[in-house]
């Protein structure tokens, strides 16, 4: 089983989407099911509607999964496992108040030493625990030795027992911490490979410590993906527009192009432009670079344009708001100039809108408009042009400038003969 475990606490970040894609690809390659586990245990940070948004994005990106769970439904397992650890003396109740802990943390800071839990409650006599009415947390006893994390991308990292520390498993409100819920759920779902962002690498030894303490002996494989940096080399935060999947979609990037780019960045791939289907054949976690990936919006634009070029004209037509294949072909003419659907729509819209006529061409445009309204249908551009030439008395620039404005709403653009070819069945709507 592989899993993608998003928290429903904000807009989906491209880093999360990349994690989801890689999990999907590896689940396909290993022929193992994929689980979507919504990590909703942090009640204050959950946002209503985000779960549906995540699932809608997964479906748009064709990320299929076989299981879907809400972590909050597993509370009884988290509590049962905490009790088992207490019973086995692998964990202990901690009555230290948040204030006391904070003071000790401050003192460590003042002395410039890393704060570690000092073991105050680890060896309390049973009577001090059983009859104690004070609120308590449950802490794991820190592991006896260091823990080595083997990572497919990052290699081995060793974490000393003191750095793992006697950390909290259950909070005073009797809800699990992220590390505890995650470690228990991965174990119960028999997860074989965990792919997630490298910001979680420091959590991994804690999760391994929990599973070891529970007697779980399956070795889970790990792949922590390097972070994605923005153009200026800083971590892409939620405030960077381009880091939001929703923003990229609104800007008119195709899901296929975003997928292509997220697989390409910081990776060695046999081609630059490919589909998810193709990537399934050669994708390999081993070729992912250890160093951060740089997000380059211009590169994504280039990739988007290539995918737009390859799109079926009928589908492209729908994307720009029409149902006719010819408009899809027309749209492709503009792909020399633009690279997103939003920009493409901005090119197509003026063609079908009332034209803004500059004073110098007003007369010519009026003349051509009347002429075209009364002309028969011409299947080819040459006959159409000859008809206008012989009936308008205009020639050269005096004919072609107003004609271009009338047909496209713009002074520049694709060849008139190409425009005519795709617009000839819409002439009466176009020349408004």
Which residues sit at the interface with ligand GLU, rule CB under 6 A? 5-7, 39, 182, 196, 200
Minimal distance in Å, beta carbon 307 to ligand GLU?
28
Q: Which is nearer to ligand GLU, 14 or 182 (CB)?
A: 182
Minimal distance in Å, beta carbon 221 to ligand GLU?
14
Q: What angle do CA 190, 193, 195 make, to 5 degrees?
A: 130
List b or e across 57-70, with b for residues whose CB sees 16 or more CB atoms inside 10 angstroms: bbeebebebeeebe
Contact call for residues 308 and 316 (beta carbons, < 8 A): yes
Q: Which is nearer to ligand GLU, 41 or 339 (CB)?
A: 41
Q: Which is nearer to ligand GLU, 68 or 342 (CB)?
A: 68
Minimal distance in Å, beta carbon 195 to ligand GLU?
8
Minimal distance in Å, beta carbon 194 to ligand GLU?
6
CA separation for the pair 401, 237 (Å, rounded): 47
Minimal distance in Å, beta carbon 227 to ligand GLU?
12
Q: Which is nearer to ligand GLU, 183 or 264 (CB)?
A: 183
SS (H, E, C) 258-287: HHHHHHHCCECCCCCCCCHHHHHHHCCHHH
Contact call for residues 45 and 12 (beta carbons, < 8 A): no
Minimal distance in Å, beta carbon 144 to ligand GLU?
25
- Which parts of 73-215 are beta strand (E)? 91-94, 137-140, 147-151, 155-159, 168-170, 193-197
List b or e across 5-31, with b for residues whose CB sees 16 or more CB atoms inside 10 angstroms: bbbbeebbbbbbbbbbbbbbbbbbeee
Q: Which is nearer to ligand GLU, 200 or 305 (CB)?
A: 200
Minimal distance in Å, beta carbon 73 to ligand GLU?
15
Q: Which is nearer to ligand GLU, 39 or 251 (CB)?
A: 39
Q: Which is nearer to ligand GLU, 3 or 139 (CB)?
A: 3
Of the candidates 202, 194, 187, the residue with the CA atom closest to the CA atom of residue 152 = 194
Strand partners, 137: 94
Q: Which is nearer to ligand GLU, 10 or 310 (CB)?
A: 10
Of the candidates 229, 227, 208, the residue with the CA atom closest to the CA atom of residue 153 = 227
First to last CA, the chain: 59
Minimal distance in Å, beta carbon 223 to ligand GLU?
11
Minimal distance in Å, beta carbon 201 to ligand GLU?
11
CA separation for the pair 345, 310 (Å, rounded): 17
Q: Which is nearer to ligand GLU, 74 or 196 (CB)?
A: 196
Q: Which is nearer to ligand GLU, 140 or 341 (CB)?
A: 140
Angle, to 10 degrees, between the axis of helix 204-213 and the axis of helix 178-188? 60
Q: Which is nearer to ligand GLU, 6 or 252 (CB)?
A: 6
Minimal distance in Å, beta carbon 86 to ligand GLU?
24
Angle, to 10 degrees, between the axis of helix 255-264 and the axis of helix 14-30? 80
- The SS3 call for residue 151 is strand
DSSP, residue by residue, 17-62:
HHHHHHHHHHHHHHT--EEEEE----TTT--TTHHHHHHHHHHHTT
Minimal distance in Å, beta carbon 23 to ligand GLU?
9
């Amino acid at each position: 089983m592989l899993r993608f475990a998003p928290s429903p606490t904000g807009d989906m970040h491209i880093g999360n989407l990349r994690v989801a894609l890689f999990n999907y690809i590896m689940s396909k390659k290993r022929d193992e099911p994929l689980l979507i586990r919504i990590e909703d245990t942090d009640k204050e940070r959950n946002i209503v509607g985000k779960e549906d948004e995540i699932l809608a994005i997964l479906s748009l990106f064709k990320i299929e999964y076989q299981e879907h769970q809400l972590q909050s439904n597993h509370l009884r397992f988290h509590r049962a496992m905490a009790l088992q650890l207490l019973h086995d003396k692998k964990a202990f109740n901690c009555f230290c108040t948040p204030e006391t802990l904070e003071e000790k943390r401050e003192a460590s800071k003042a002395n410039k030493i890393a704060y570690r839990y000092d073991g105050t409650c680890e060896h309390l006599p049973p009577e001090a625990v059983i009859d104690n009415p004070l609120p308590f947390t449950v802490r794991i006893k820190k592991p006896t030795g260091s823990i080595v994390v083997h990572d497919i991308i990052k290699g081995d990292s060793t974490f000393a027992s003191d750095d793992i520390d006697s950390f909290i498993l259950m909070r005073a409100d009797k809800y699990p911490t992220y590390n505890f819920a995650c470690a228990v759920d991965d174990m119960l779902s028999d997860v074989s490979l965990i792919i997630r962002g490298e910001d979680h690498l420091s959590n991994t030894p804690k999760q391994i410590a929990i599973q070891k303490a529970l007697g779980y002996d399956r070795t889970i494989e790990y792949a922590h993906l390097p972070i994605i940096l923005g153009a200026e080399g800083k971590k892409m935060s939620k405030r960077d527009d381009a880091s939001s999947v929703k923003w990229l979609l609104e800007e008119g990037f195709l899901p296929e192009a975003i997928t292509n780019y997220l697989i390409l960045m910081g990776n060695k791939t046999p081609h630059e432009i490919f589909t998810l289907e193709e990537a399934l054949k050669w994708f390999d976690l081993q070729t992912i670079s250890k160093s951060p990936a740089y997000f380059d919006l211009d590169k994504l634009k280039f990739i988007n344009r290539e995918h737009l070029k390859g799109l079926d004209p009928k589908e492209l037509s729908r994307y720009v708001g029409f149902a006719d294949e010819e408009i899809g072909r027309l749209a492709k003419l503009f792909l020399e100039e633009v690279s997103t659907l939003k920009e493409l729509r901005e090119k197509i819209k003026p063609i079908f809108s009332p034209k803004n006529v500059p004073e110098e061409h007003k007369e010519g445009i009026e003349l051509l408009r009347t002429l075209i309204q009364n002309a028969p249908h011409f299947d080819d551009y040459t006959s159409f042009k000859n008809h206008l030439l012989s009936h308008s008395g205009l020639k050269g620039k005096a004919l072609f400038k107003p004609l271009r404005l009338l047909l496209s709403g713009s002074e520049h653009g694709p060849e008139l003969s190409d425009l005519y070819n795709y617009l000839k069945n819409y002439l009466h709507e176009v020349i408004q």
